[in-house]
Chains A and B, each alone.
Chain A
């Protein structure tokens, strides 16, 4: 029995780490960490919706995140308020409405911490289907737009001059982030998802010479963090999300030390 849920958590965590590597790399390159964070926070409203309408929570999160992306794109047509301002208004309104809604639901109130910080006990077989199905869709999406997305990340105007459909790609990329937030929420937790996207990719930066190397290495480092974090979580009975992120932070520190030593030797 114990083995069962542990294997599911490990399998699920690895699935998420594999997707988080390339996606997190792009979030770093495009300086969208803040966007990812805000979007993830708004996912709580999706959890409340999921409960209210009795659908999969992932579906509720995905719906709310996509709605938020659409509203953001629509509101950006006016130029008076900057994108970051709009993001705060939208995301934290969603988070707060979600918290208010949750306070009305007895059963959910008890579970609130597990949605904020992740819970390996919550991972059932259906969640694994979500993680690997959603993860495969996200990776396929990313692979399909990889080259033009990279071109516009390097220099948007140059890419546009070469005929890259910049606005459409930006939208698809935001949807990919929404998808990963939906599938990662249960294991990592709403408040911590962005860190699993960012920290492994940032750790990989030092060792990569090409974008593709960084993305692949980030996936690998993410898997290590998931393995280490879950082992720690089981051993010390700590919440799974923070344990995984702590492991990722330790790996990042080690990479800094390794890089420091390398530069001294040089």
Chain B
């Protein structure tokens, strides 16, 4: 190798070291980590809402990275509808043990009993709306001042309108027509003059009201971004995200898993299918998709080629009305 080539290689290496390129996944990760640290800096008693699904699993991974090598400065809560996939529960417990998380579980069934609510009925009884009651009761019980959720703006049109720090009123309701301005990356989580405002003097300490803040660190991620991140970081997921055989009920073109939670009638068509779950919610209102995708690469290829949106293909509960999500958010849903 002559000197000129060595000389050039030296400069190429210098150039590559200086030119520090962030790809879209790096940028999304950086945004999320920044948001997590804002939560830690602004709130005393935050909680991360964990369902066992891919989005909240990615949230946990991002939080671990944000605070490495320290433990998470908040607890993790599962609002348990009682209609879970067994695989998701098992995964939750493994993850909690591996990362030494502090887990709080609050059950919708108990809220129903305590508050004398009417349980979900019908062929596919969905406790999706009821879980808002459990969430709000848990916020009150623990005095949580911020709830971190895995909602993404590209999931649904009402979600597309929500701020990263979303202020909820005393009833947990979103106020879509009076959202707080949110400029640059200056996320403002103050709900009254109670916070220790930096080095402020002259601020009277009054008791915190019951308003709270919902925080969505992966707001700007698409479904594909989430999967690319899962691949890049080697993040584990519940097995049902990958192709497996399952007894399914064919209902209006959708495949609903056979379980003790749904009503199966004699005329129903039950088939054994090769399926996977694109989203993981309740067994009663999440549809499986027919799939042979057994690896992350195959899942990514399948999503990229899919003509259907994530929630459109898998959620029964969004189809109820044109504003189903907006309505649920007005009642405390995350």
**Are A and B interaction partners?**
no
Chain B contacts to A: CB under 8 angstroms: none
Chain A contacts to B: CB under 8 angstroms: none
